[in-house]
Structure 1
Amino acid sequence: MSYEDKAFERLHAIMMDSRSVMSNRMEYPHRGVPIVLHWLVKEGESTPSELAKETHNTLGRISAILSAMEKKGWITRDVDPDNRRRIIVRVTKEGEDQHWRKSKEHKESMRWIFEQMGEESTEEFLTLMERFVIYMSLRGPGDPAPDEQTIAKAFAARNLPYPPEKK
């Protein structure tokens, strides 16, 4: 088995088989409520269709998310006075407080992990992660491998050297 195949198997084991509390909690925002809350805190207000587009959810899923958030008092939904067919979604003070509380908790957890890893290992991890994400952005399943110029341009856009040093 090549090192690439072994690396793929190991990455799969790390990401899927050994689900940690932290990875589950970090994945949770992509399930709906936290990402919608984040978007509304950032933008101030939005429509359900804008939220669906920006969060890569269906309108049906957004409707369910907004209902749950409204029940918790985190958002309001109002009819746009200029266009009665349009709904405006706004975050409430309680919703903003929830967003900032969860953001603080997440940051504290990540800081603890980086403290455990130490500065040098953290820096190496982040550099490798950044390179990994660039490569992931260039090729998905079934896509052809990008040419060297495309790869170099993606690295240059992030102010990273290409080709990266290979150990």
Structure 2
Amino acid sequence: MGFEQDAVSELWRTAWCHRSDMQRELTRGAQGEMFAIRQLAHHGTMTPSQLAAALNATSGRISTLLSSMEKKGLITRETDPDDRRVVLVNLTDAGRERGRKDMEEMRDAVCWIFSQMGERRTREFVDLTREFMTYMSICKPGQPRPTAEEVRKAFERRE
């Protein structure tokens, strides 16, 4: 096994098998609320189908999620006045505030982590993450790997 296979195994073990308390907290009680709030905050009004596609969730899961969020006062669901078959989902003020608080808490936690890593290692991490994500953006499963020209163009767009 080459270094690439070892690195993939280590990355998967680190990222998915040894999840942090913060990662577990994000996915446990809220069961997708944070992600739905972020989608609605970023895109505005959405239909349940659009949310399901964005969150890669089933319509049943989205229905359950939206019911829970509506009970908590985080969203409203209204019938589209132009097409009564369509339901429109919007964030409430409480939902926007929850999203703001969640992001602030996460930002504070990551800032603390970076303070522990130090400036040099943090900048290296951010640079390497940006490079990794650029490669990820052009490497599609089931398709040929990008050419040197496609890689060059992707990195030019990044700058």
TM-score normalised over the length of structure 1: 0.82
Give the alignment of 1:3-42 within 5 angstroms. Answer: 3-25=3-25, 32-42=32-42
**Partners of 1:146 and 1:47 in 2: CA distance:** 35
Q: Name the counterpart of 1:60.
A: 60
C-alpha distance 80-129 of structure 1, shift in aligned 2 (>3 A): same
| Shift in CA distance, 154/26, structure 1 to aligned 2, threshold 3 Å | farther
- Number of aligned residue pairs: give it: 157
Give distance in 2, aligned partners of 1:93 and 1:27: 23
- Once residues 87 and 54 of structure 1 are traced to their aligned partners in structure 2, the CA distance between those partners, rounded to angstroms, is 16
CA distance in 2, matches of 1:54, 1:5: 30
Q: Paired residue for 1:79?
A: 79
Give, in whole Å, the separation in 2 of the partners of 1:138 and 1:42.
23
- Give the superposition deviation at 1:66: 0.7
Aligned-partner Cα distance in 1 for 2:53–2:102: 24
Does the C-alpha gap of structure 1 residues 81 and 138 become closer, same or farther in structure 2, counting only changes over 3 Å?
closer
Once the two structures are superposed, residues 24-80 of structure 1 have per-residue CA deviations (whole angstroms, 9 ceiling, x without a partner) of 34667xx62211111222333222222223333332222121111111111111122
Q: Secondary structure at the match of 1:45?
A: coil
Q: CA RMSD in A?
A: 2.1
In structure 2, the partner of 1:162 is: none
**Please, which runs of 5 or more residues in structure 2 have no aligned partner?**
none
Query: Identity, % of aligned pairs?
Result: 39
Equivalent position SS for 2:136: helix
